[in-house]
Amino acid sequence: MKLKDLGWEKYQASLVQEDAFGQENIARVAVENRGSYLLYAKEGELEGIMRGKFMNFQKMGSQYPKVGDWIVFEKIDGEQKAIIKSILPRRSKISRKKAGDDLDEQIIATNVEIVFIVQGLDGDFNLSRLERYVVMAKDGNCQPVILLNKCDVASDAQSKLEKVQAIFSEVEIFLISAKAEIGIEKVRAFVNEGISVVFVGSSGAGKSTLINKLLGAERQKVGQVRLDDSRGKHTTIKRELIMLDGGGVLIDTPGMRELGMWIAAESTIEAFEDINSLIGSCRFSDCDHEFSQGCGVVEAVRVGKIDKEGYERFLKLKNEANPLEAKEKRKAEHAKKRLLRKVIKRPEFKKKK
Ligand SMILES: Nc1nc2c(ncn2[C@@H]2O[C@H](COP(=O)(O)OP(=O)(O)OP(=O)(O)O)[C@@H](O)[C@H]2O)c(=O)[nH]1
Ligand SMILES: [Mg+2]
Ligand SMILES: [Zn+2]
């Protein structure tokens, strides 16, 4: 693996001297797994873990490594593992902020030049959603490019294109068909050596289909959409960085029907009303509703009180919404409680009789 193919040279040129100085062990975050990261480095694939300094204090979600990040690591001898030491400055990012909360943002990808906004010309077509994606891209210092997909099956493609053009006069917009391979070369033309791009859009819009066509391989799993409303089935469940032969980096992302789905784990729970209503019945207040003992939600699923499919969708979203952060939050909560107990035991806090 060459750092150059991952876009390092272009990225490095944007760094100030101190950031880049003396850093030999550089890798790029390719996948965020539960509890670890897949890193791409000179020496190939490494499992990135966090320790020590990184874990010493409670961090905000955005301070954790994200797909697309350049990181400095320390290799563990004799293993394909590395300790993540620091994250190099993000030149751009595509992120979703929770309403009214500027501090806690959920980052979808970092250090990308272009955001391909993929929208189906079928039931997925929605101008206000396009607008939000365009804002998101510009906010994050990325160039938005709109890809209106599935033109092979849309009879009104031309009029929809004109509508979109009228609204976004400064954005490049293309009619394409990932499946019928129409306009693929126009997309390919953006992804030159050293360029990183991310694909966003609803589930079922055709992001993974398009990525496969760009790769010339069936690498990404593709799922059917529902006939009545064109909704996808959340086929892609992880953000993933993929290298293109001849340079260029593609990031596939799980699609969301609503941009509001890019939210923290707690909000995921709130979105599932039947699950939310049972949370009080869990034995532990920090129950993860998956592995924790005495979980009222798991029990309700077992006895059929909650729809199993709905529960599985909940798990998928819950774990998608940044597993590491959720885990760290729980740890911090425990530590706080322990500290509080100690303090209360101290004599000066005991009530005088
Ligand atoms: N007719 C038509 N169907 C397409 C086109 N592109 C993709 N599809 C179909 O749309 C469905 C969804 O495609 P995916 O590539 O899985 O969509 P996605 O955006 O990756 O969806 P998620 O991974 O769930 O976010 C599949 O059945 C594809 O075959 C197209 O250009 N025309
Ligand atoms: Mg996909
Ligand atoms: Zn529970």
Supply the pTM of this predicted model.
Answer: 0.75
User: What is the per-residue pLDDT across 159-204, written as a single tens digit (0 to 9) for each?
Assistant: 999 999 988 888 999 999 999 999 999 999 999 999 999 999 998 9
Q: Please enumerate in sequence order all residues whose Cβ is within 8 A of that of 197, keeping only pairs 6 or more positions apart, or say none.
A: 112, 113, 114, 115, 116, 190, 191, 248, 249, 250, 251
User: What's residue 269's pLDDT?
Assistant: 56
Q: Whose CA is nearest to atom 22 of ligand 1?
A: 203
CB atoms within 10 A of CB 11: 22
Cβ-contact 70, 9 below 8 angstroms: no
User: What's residue 267's pLDDT?
Assistant: 46
pLDDT exceeding 90 applies to what percent of the chain?
47
**146 has pLDDT over 90:** yes
d(CA 54, CA 63) in angstroms, rounded, equals 9
Please tell me if the CB atom of residue 132 comes closer than 6 angstroms to any atom of ligand 1: no
Which residues have beta carbons under 5 A from ligand 2 (an ion)?
Answer: 207-208, 235-236
User: What is the per-residue pLDDT across 94-136, written as a single tens digit (0 to 9) for each?
Assistant: 987 654 455 567 789 999 999 999 999 999 998 878 887 887 8
CA angle 206, 309, 130 (to 5 degrees): 30
* Kind and range of the H or E run holding 227: none
Cβ-contact 35, 45 below 8 angstroms: no
Specify the range with the lowest mean pLDDT, choosing from 34-48, 70-84, 173-187, 318-332. 318-332
Which residues have beta carbons under 5 A from ligand 3 (an ion)?
Answer: 282, 287, 289, 295, 297
Task: Give 16 Cα–ligand 2 centroid separation in angstroms.
Answer: 36
Please tell me if the CB atom of residue 153 comes closer than 6 angstroms to any atom of ligand 1: yes
Q: Whose CA is nearest to atom 7 of ligand 1?
A: 206
128 phi-psi bin (left φ>0, alpha ψ -120 to 50, beta other): alpha
Domains of the chain with CATH codes = 8-87 (2.40.50.140), 93-259 (3.40.50.300), 261-345 (1.10.40.50)
User: What's residue 147's pLDDT?
Assistant: 98
Question: Ligand 1: which of 199, 222, 229 to mutate, most ligand atoms within 8 Å of CB?
Answer: 222
Please tell me if the CB atom of residue 300 comes closer than 6 angstroms to any atom of ligand 1: no
- Least Cα distance to 76 among 111, 120, 41, 105 occurs for 41
For 281-305, b where at least 16 C-beta lie within 10 A, e where not — what string?
Answer: ebeeeebbbeeeeebbbbebbeeee
User: What is the per-residue pLDDT across 210-253, written as a single tens digit (0 to 9) for each?
Assistant: 999 999 999 999 988 888 778 888 888 889 999 998 889 999 99
Please tell me if the CB atom of residue 111 comes closer than 6 angstroms to any atom of ligand 1: no
Please tell me if the CB atom of residue 205 comes closer than 6 angstroms to any atom of ligand 1: yes
User: What's residue 263's pLDDT?
Assistant: 40
User: What is the per-residue pLDDT across 260-304, written as a single tens digit (0 to 9) for each?
Assistant: 434 444 445 555 667 777 878 888 887 888 888 899 999 999 999
**346 has pLDDT over 50:** yes
**Residue 141 three-state SS:** coil
Q: Please enumerate in sequence order all residues whose Cβ is within 8 A of that of 334, keeping only pairs 6 or more positions apart, or say none.
A: 286
CA angle 218, 222, 228 (to 5 degrees): 150
